[in-house]
Every structure is written in C-alpha cells, then in structure tokens.
Amino acid sequence: MEAHLIEWANLAVRWVHMIVGIAWIGASFYFVWLENNLNRVNPRDGLAGDLWAIHGGGIYHLEKYKLAPPKMPDNLHWFKWEAYWTWMSGVTLLLIVYYLNPSLYLIMPGSDLSPAAAIAIGVGSLVSGWFIYNFLCDSPLGKQPALLGLVLFALLVGAAYGLSQVFSGRGAYIHVGAIIGTIMVGNVFNTIMPAQRALVKAIEENRTPDPALPAKGLLRSRHNNYFTLPVLFIMISNHFPSTYGSHYNWLILSGIAVLAVIVRHYFNTRHTSNSFSWALPAGALGMICLAFVTGPSLSTVSGASDAQAAKTIEYQPLPATAIGGKTAKQAAEEAAKQPAPAEQPVAQATAPAAGAGFDKVHEVIQVRCAVCHSAKPTNSMFSAAPAGVMFDTPAQIQQMAPRIQAQAVATQAMPLGNLTQMTPQERELIGAWIAKGAQVN
Ligand code: HEC
C-alpha cells in the first residue's frame, strides 16, 4: 500500500513538474524567439520593434518598447510562478523518488554511505551550487562572460564527477540537473525579478532606471537560456542507461551538455548571423560520436569465455546497509522477511559448455530481478512491476532480452541499487546467453 501511494504521489508531482516546466521553458523559448524576430525597421516612436503573428485562428500584433510605455498599464503580466512551481515540484520529486528510498536510486550500489549522509550530500550540493554560482557572477569574473562560462562549466563537470563517485549514475545525473535547476530559479528569484521590479518602479517614479540591474538580469537570463537544454536532457536521461550507467557517466554528461549549449547557441544567433551554421551539424555529429563511444563493445566486461561465465556463482549475504532510509537493523529484518536470494547459489554449473543455457539464466533472473519485475513483486518497495517489465515467464524474458542486455550487462543500471546482489559472473552469463541469440529451449 505504501509503495502504491508513493507511486501515485510520484505520478501527480511528476505530472505537475512537467506541466509547469513546459510553461516555464516554453515562455522562455518564446520570448527569445520574439526578441530575435522583432521587426526593427522604422519602429513607431518609443518602440524597439514589433511583430505580427498568427496562432490558433487569431492574428496578433506585439510591440516592444525601447524602455516603457508613456503610462504603465494597469495589468502587467510577470513570468515567475512557472519557474517557482517547476523548482518546488522538482524538489518534491527529488524527495519522493530519491530521498524516501535512498538505497534504491540514490546511493551507489555497494557503497556504505548512510541514507542520511547521502541526502545531506544531495541537499548540500544544491545549496552550495547556488552560492558558488552567485558569488562568481557577482565577482570580477562576472565582467568576462566567456571566461565565467568556462569556469562554470568546469565546476559543473567537477560536480558531476564528484557526485558520480558517491551516487548511482542516475542519482548523480539528477543532482547535476537539480543544481542547474536551482541556479536557474535562483536567478529568477534573486536577480531577474528584483531587476524588473526596480525598472518598473523607476519608470513609475519618472526616474532614469539604474542600468546596472538590467545588465545583471540579462547575464543571468542568458545563463538560464544556455542551461535549458542540458537540464532537459537530464530530465529524460534515466531512460538511457548507456549514459548514466556507464563508468564514464560524468564525462558523457559533460559531452552532451557541450553539444546542447552549442545547439542552443546556434538557435540564439541564427537570426543575426550565419557564423554558427556549423553548430547544428556539429551537434548531430557529436551525438553520433557519443553513441559510438558509449557502445556495448567498449563498456561491457568482455573477454570472459562462456566457461568462465559458468563458473560457480557465489553470493555474499545481504550487507546490513540500510535499505529505503531505514536503519540497518530494520532493513535486515525486512530482508529476512523477503524471500532471501542471498542464501543459495542459483547456478551451480558443472558443464562449462552449458554456460549460455537458458535454465541458469532463468534462475539468475528469478532471483536477481523477479523480486521486483513480476506481476506480484515480493519486494515491499513495489506494488506493481517497475516500468511494466515482468520476468514471470520465459517468453517475457526472451522478449526483453535487448533491454536486459542494456540494463544488466552493458551497464549495471539493474538490479536497481544492486539490492539483490547480482555478481559480475551472472552478468556475463546473461550476456553470453543473449549473444547466442537468447534462446529459451
Ligand atoms: C529492487 C527492484 C529491482 C530489481 C531487483 C530489478 N529491477 Fe529492473 N527496474 C526497477 C525499477 C524501479 C525500474 C524502473 C526504473 C525507471 O524508473 O527507469 C526498472 C526498470 C527495468 C527495465 C526497463 C527500463 C528500460 O528502460 O527498458 C528493465 C529492462 C529492467 N529493469 C531489467 C532488470 C533486470 C534484468 C534485473 C535483474 C538483473 C532487474 N531489472 C532488477 C527495479 C528493479
């Protein structure tokens, strides 16, 4: 029941997060587009430009003022709640998915980091990320936007590397995303909104606005603009174990971020210059290169023969690391109540040639995977098969062979948190079976 409620809380918050996130990023994309497409030829007095557009069956005429209209309108629309709600729902989602059960998605499998320490590192990274960023922007470095950009990028790569040393791949990825998201919303709250308020106030009081504030706001909103594509990738990244599941996950993330920023730059500049027309093909080529270098041949633990793979598979007893934010004792008690995979070896191979036979693979999957991936999971953290993936019948296992390869052989994304203590030999065994065509007798 608890697992079921958590799933629905996850659903509701994730849905809200997506909706408000679309509203935020959508508005931001729209205004960048508007700015770039304004007709600036012979504008009316006091105007910077205007634009005609048709959408949803209506024709719109938008005008941008150089500074402000002679009289401020009664109803000036501000864009901020989209950002605030995106952050609030994002943090709630972080809590539901990662902090409620740190051993599942957050902590690196096999590490003895306690749930409390892991959460402290996670929250600490968001808070310190913002303060370091804000400090650097306000420092003399802020006057050199290109250098500042490079320093910020290097720091984020450092954060990705550091987090990947303590967190699971997806835990590290989502925290890099959350650091960037926090910086983005911090920019809205702390710099952009105050700058806009000061501007409006100065106009209302007939003063010349202080140019320093809008300049600061502009720098921050430019940063936000370049941050959007990397953050959007991180949001969808947990569908792609060849990225977060790789040993070099932090490097892959950095590569994708660079490509995303280049592509964003192309879209930002294409209205005014052609000098970045190479960026789009370069981005596509970069993604193809990344697909190639993350390919299974390079990340699999290859070289082991079937015979080696079929060697006796031994299990260590479940360690007393805390599961799901519980104390070690509670977790051990809970583990004792579950059908314990830790006790008996599943595949005692005698004939090496039978290394890639389905029987053993079947047993391994029953013990290591089906506690969660079943129509009726026995793991108490799930009330339904995660991602709808079930390994109850040989046919189901065979059908999912390519995904099993991606999740448990090419990468070690599954079993989640390696809660069921899958061994490298078992991964090789399954890999060998899939390589031979995933036959189920
Ligand atoms: C502790 C529970 C648990 C165990 C054990 C587990 N999984 Fe999963 N698995 C999950 C969850 C949760 C998801 C959904 C993850 C997500 O949100 O992407 C998932 C998703 C998957 C997916 C679908 C993801 C995709 O993108 O295709 C596959 C395939 C998969 N697991 C394979 C395995 C295999 C193979 C094993 C055993 C080696 C295994 N899992 C063991 C919890 C588990």
pLDDT of residue 356: 67
Tell me the pLDDT tens digit for each residue of 293-328. Answer: 887 654 443 333 333 333 333 333 333 333 444 433
The alpha carbon of 386 and the centre of ligand 1 are apart by a number of angstroms equal to 6
Residue with tokens 């490298």: 424
The residue ranking higher by pLDDT, 429 or 297, is 429
* pLDDT surpassing 70 at residue 16: yes
Which has more confidence, 326 or 255? Answer: 255
Q: Indicate whether residue 386 lines ligand 1 (CB < 6 A).
A: yes
Residue 336 has pLDDT above 70, yes or no: no
Rg (CA), the chain: 26
Report the share of the chain in percent with pLDDT over 90. 58
The larger pLDDT score, comparing residue 71 to residue 370, is at 370
Which among 100-114, 319-333, 418-432 has the top mean pLDDT? 418-432
**Which has the higher per-residue pLDDT, 256 or 399?**
256
**Does ligand 1 have an atom closer than 6 angstroms to the CB of 174?**
no
Q: Kindly report the CA angle at 331 between 326 and 334, in degrees rounded to 5? A: 125
Distance CA 233, CA 177 (A): 9
Shortest-distance atom of ligand 1 to CA 406: 29
Ligand 1 mean position to 373 CA, how many Å?
Answer: 7
Tokens 């100065």 belong to residue: 202
Residue-wise pLDDT tens digits, 140-150: 999 999 999 99
Structure confidence at residue 19 (pLDDT): 98
Position 383 scores a pLDDT of 78
Q: Give yes or no for residue 333 having a pLDDT over 70.
A: no
Q: Is the CB of 379 under 6 A from ligand 1?
A: yes
Residue owning the nearest CA to atom 26 of ligand 1: 239
The residue contributing the CA closest to ligand 1 atom 1 is: 416
* Residue 241 alpha carbon, nearest atom of ligand 1: 26
Taking the C-alpha atoms of residue 375 and residue 385, their distance in angstroms, rounded to an integer, is 6
Report the amino acid identity of residue 400. M
Supply the pLDDT for residue 1.
Answer: 60
- Is it the case that residue 103 has pLDDT exceeding 60? yes
Average pLDDT over residues 428-436: 94
Q: What is the pLDDT, as a whole number, of residue 311?
A: 36
Per-residue confidence (pLDDT) for residue 324, from 0 to 100: 40
Residues 6+ apart with CB under 8 A from 435: 356
Q: Whole-number mean pLDDT of the chain?
A: 85
Mutate to test the pocket of ligand 1, among 4, 105, 372 (most ligand atoms within 8 A of CB): 372
Mutate which of 237, 407, 427 for ligand 1 pocket (most atoms within 8 A of beta carbon): 407
Q: What is the pLDDT of residue 380?
A: 84
* pLDDT of 55 strictly over 70: yes
Rounded mean pLDDT of 89-104? 93
Ligand 1 contact via 116 beta carbon (within 6 Å) = no
Token couple for 306: 């079937």
The residue whose CB lies within 8 Å of the most ligand 1 atoms, and thus the one to mutate among 170, 414, 422, is: 414
- CA-nearest residue for atom 4, ligand 1, is 415
Burial (CB count within 10 angstroms: exposed 0-12, middle 13-18, buried 19+), residue 204: exposed
Q: How far, in Å, from the CA of 67 to the mean position of ligand 1?
A: 55
Rounded distance, CA 124 to CA 424, Å? 33
Q: Cα of 406 to ligand 1 centre, how many Å?
A: 11
**C-alpha span between 427 and 433 (Å, rounded):** 10
Examine the pLDDT at 3 and tell me if it is beyond 80.
no
CB atoms within 10 A of CB 187: 25
Say what the pLDDT of residue 327 is: 37
